[in-house]
Amino acid sequence: MRHCIERKRDGHTLSATDWDGIIDGFMEGRIDEAQTAALFMACVWRGMSFEEAHALTDAMVRSGETVTFDRGKGIIVDKHSSGGVADIVSLVAVPLAAACGAHVAKLSGRALGHTGGTIDKLEAVPGFNAALSLDTFVRQVESIGCAIAAQTQALVPADKRIYNLRDRTGTVPAMGLIAASIVSKKIACGAHAIVYDVKTGPASFTPSPEQARELARWLVEISKGFGRKAIAFVSDMHQPLGRTVGTGIEMVEARDILRHSDVILSLSKDPERSRGVKLILKIVAALLDASEVTGGEELASKALADGTGYAKLVAMLEAQGASRGALEGMELDGKPLIVKASQGGYVHSIDVVHLGNVGRRLSQHDKLGGLFVIAQIGDRVEAGQPLARMYGTDKEHIRNLEASFKIGTGPVEPPPLIYDVVT
Ligand code: URA
Residue by residue, pLDDT tens for the chain (423 residues) are 999 999 999 999 999 999 999 999 999 999 999 999 999 999 999 999 999 999 999 999 999 999 999 888 889 999 999 988 999 999 999 999 999 999 999 998 777 778 778 999 999 999 999 999 999 999 999 999 999 999 888 899 999 899 889 988 999 888 999 999 999 999 999 999 999 999 999 988 899 999 999 999 999 999 999 999 999 999 999 999 999 999 999 999 999 999 876 544 444 445 555 899 999 999 999 999 999 999 999 999 999 989 999 999 999 999 999 999 999 999 988 789 999 999 999 999 999 999 999 999 999 889 899 999 999 999 999 999 999 999 988 776 777 799 999 999 999 999 999 999 999
Which member of 114, 166, 312, 389 is catalytic? Answer: 166
Reference 104, options 69, 150, 132; nearest CA is 69
Give 181 Cα–ligand 1 centroid separation in angstroms.
Answer: 5
Known catalytic residue at 80: yes
Q: Where are the alpha helices (DSSP H) in 190-242?
A: 209-225
Q: What is the pLDDT of residue 268?
A: 43
Instruction: Determine whether the shortest distance from the Cβ of 181 to ligand 1 is under 6 A.
Output: yes
Per the CB < 8 A criterion, the answer to whether 388 and 339 are in contact is yes
Q: What is the pLDDT of residue 108?
A: 87
- The residue contributing the CA closest to ligand 1 atom 2 is 182
Q: Which residues pair with 370 in a beta bridge?
A: 246, 391
Instruction: Determine whether the shortest distance from the Cβ of 182 to ligand 1 is under 6 A.
Output: yes
Q: CA quadruple 346, 116, 158, 30: dihedral positive or negative?
A: positive
**Which whole-number Å values give the CA distances from 63 to 21, 49, 66, 336, 339, in the listed order?**
11, 21, 9, 48, 49
Give 139 Cα–ligand 1 centroid separation in angstroms.
Answer: 28
Question: Which three-class secondary structure string do you get for 384-422?
Answer: CCEEEEEECCCHHHCCCHHHHEEEECCCCCCCCCEEEEE
d(CA 398, CA 330): 23
Q: What is the pLDDT of residue 114?
A: 80
Residue length, the chain?
423
Instruction: Determine whether the shortest distance from the Cβ of 178 to ligand 1 is under 6 A.
Output: yes
d(CA 91, CA 412): 31
Domains of the chain (ranges; CATH) run 2-47 (no CATH), 71-328 (3.40.1030.10), 337-408 (3.90.1170.30)
Known catalytic residue at 159: yes
Torsion angle of alpha carbons 384, 240, 274, 296, nearest 10°?
Answer: 180
Q: What is the pLDDT of residue 399?
A: 75
- Best substitution site from 106, 175, 181 to test ligand 1's pocket, by max atoms within 8 Å of Cβ? 181
Per the CB < 8 A criterion, the answer to whether 87 and 121 are in contact is no
Q: CA quadruple 43, 44, 46, 49: dihedral positive or negative?
A: positive
Which member of 81, 181, 274, 404 is catalytic? Answer: 181
Q: Which residues pair with 420 in a beta bridge?
A: 234
Give 326 Cα–ligand 1 centroid separation in angstroms.
Answer: 33
Compute how many other C-beta atoms are within 10 angstroms of the C-beta atom of residue 225.
Answer: 18
